[in-house]
Amino acid sequence: MYKPETIKELLERSPLNQSITLMGWVRTFRSNRFIALNDGSTLTNLQCVVDFEQLDESVLNAIHTGTAIKVEGKLVESQGRGQTVEVQVSSLAILGGSDPEKYPIQPKKHSLEFLREKAHLRIRTNTFAAIMRVRSALAFAVHRYFNESGFFYMNTPIITGSDAEGAGEMFKLENEDFFGKATHLTVSGQLEAETYAMGLGKVYTFGPTFRAENSNTSRHLAEFWMIEPEMAFYDLEDTMQLAEDFIKYTLGYVLEHCKEDLAFLEQRLEDEDKNKPQAERSPMRLIEKLNFVVDKPFIRLSYTEAFEILKHSKPNQKKKFKYPISEWGADLQSEHERYLVEKHFDAPVVLFDYPAKIKAFYMRLNEDQKTVRAMDVLFPGIGEIVGGSQREERLEVLEQKIKTMDIDPEELWWYLDLRRFGSAVHSGFGLGFERLVMFATGMGNIRDVIPYPRTPQNAEF
């Protein structure tokens, strides 16, 4: 079959008065004459003008919203408003019909909740097409950044016997006889990535991870994608710098390459905000928010410094925080993180040296015996987006931490071997990809930035 140009390619080339062939889906058909055609390559519909007197009536009657068609004709300057060029159609063929009585994605405003129930068709709306093009661009930028930075891409196991987080929120597999031990779906590829970093130097994973956490919220999924770089010979300062550079690069990439989609999503967010109370509206426009992160140096401060700021802040003293800050060692919540970013510093923030009791076993213990070399990157409107640490490279310290946290050392014999044979300082971080997509698109629910969300009581499609 002849492969037609995409609408995006055609609009960029604009070959006026030349014969062209296009395939796509009808968005609207009005006056038996004007077809708004879209093929997913761009937000822009291309107007195709048919001569209904010359078109077979059976073909004409089959053109509805959702119909897949092939058109041939010439690209000419548009005589009407709303577009600079249009196609004068010489022939039109129906590739796949669409019953207007049954097709659910009609040209009107649909709620996000309704569209989640039609996840297999919602990609044909402007909103979801824009989101998924931005998601695709971000994924490409992730791989490009690490490739240009000398990292090697590796694939860590989906099925594993280790629990990197130690939280126990795992999907267990009912096949102990098959593997000879208890197994589950991975919550993180970090531990396995560490082993490869200690041979290849710098590696990263970018793949699906799973959490059996019964959190029915706008920020949690049971299946999501994680970006996890691990670097030999990197300390925490190196890792904080890498995280900042990485985020600026990926967001800068979509700012450059997704202008049309970002402008549409920005307008969508503004329209949505008009129906919200002032206090719940976005403090910045979408593109302004992305530039805010790309252009501003990230502020770095210790957990202890942040604790003192929060403890003496007006919201805390006036009991405006849902979770008051009183005792050192408290696990900071999103409201605290956003206060630091949006109110106190007016810049992205990197917190480091967290209390050991609220962090995982693999994080390097500091000399004070109270804190670990952990770091989180905090963003406006979202709070934590990156979590990372310098890993504990000392065998005896790691063994003691494993014992204290009641973890079976036999399950991690291979992980401990990294400290027995050629141990060295090494670090890494994890970034939930959907959180990054949420930030880049301005969407308020994580279920709207992944094609088929998996949440409690929902595994449809």
Q: What is the pLDDT of residues 342-357, one digit of tens each?
A: 999 999 999 999 999 9
Check whether 323 has a pLDDT greater than 80: yes
Query: In the chain, what percentage of residues exceed pLDDT 90?
Result: 85
Tell me the CB-side half-sphere exposure of residue 460, using CA atoms within 13 A.
9
Report pLDDT for 89. 96
Q: How would residue 411 be classed by pLDDT, with cut points 50, 70 and 90?
A: confident
Check whether 282 has a pLDDT greater than 60: yes
Q: In CATH, what is the architecture of 122-448?
A: 2-Layer Sandwich (3.30)
The amino acid at residue 211 is: R
Q: How would residue 279 be classed by pLDDT, with cut points 50, 70 and 90?
A: confident
CB distance 292 to 284 below 8 Å: yes
> What is residue 138's three-state secondary structure?
helix
Q: How far apart are CA 42 and CA 257, in angstroms?
A: 12
| Dihedral angle, C-alpha 16, 21, 24, 27, nearest 10 ° | 40
Q: What's the rounded mean pLDDT across residues 294-314?
A: 97
Report pLDDT for 167. 56
Judge whether 7-105 and 122-448 match in fold. Answer: no
Report pLDDT for 164. 65
**DSSP run (H or E) holding 92:** strand 85-96
According to DSSP, the β-strands at 426-432 and 223-232 are antiparallel
| Chain segment 98-122, per-residue pLDDT in tens | 999 999 999 999 999 999 999 999 9
CB distance 70 to 23 below 8 Å: yes
Q: How would residue 250 be classed by pLDDT, with cut points 50, 70 and 90?
A: very high
| Chain segment 356-389, per-residue pLDDT in tens | 999 999 999 999 999 999 999 999 888 899 999 9
Measured from the Cβ of residue 17, the count of other Cβ atoms closer than 10 Å reads: 9
Check whether 277 has a pLDDT greater than 80: yes
Check whether 309 has a pLDDT greater than 60: yes
**Paired tokens of 37:** 């055609």
CB-based burial label for 171 (10 Å; 0-12, 13-18, 19+): middle
Report pLDDT for 1. 56
Report pLDDT for 165. 63
Report pLDDT for 359. 94
Check whether 191 has a pLDDT greater than 60: yes
Q: How would residue 218 be classed by pLDDT, with cut points 50, 70 and 90?
A: confident
Q: How would residue 166 be classed by pLDDT, with cut points 50, 70 and 90?
A: low
Q: What's the rounded mean pLDDT across residues 210-215?
A: 89
The average confidence (pLDDT) of the chain is 94
Check whether 312 has a pLDDT greater than 90: yes
Q: What's the rounded mean pLDDT across residues 430-439?
A: 96
Can you tell me which residue has the tokens 């939280």?
167
| Chain segment 122-140, per-residue pLDDT in tens | 999 999 999 999 999 999 9
| Chain segment 41-92, per-residue pLDDT in tens | 999 999 999 999 889 999 999 999 999 999 999 999 998 788 899 999 999 9
- Domain residue spans of the chain: 7-105, 122-448
CATH level 3 topology of 7-105: OB fold (Dihydrolipoamide Acetyltransferase, E2P) (2.40.50)
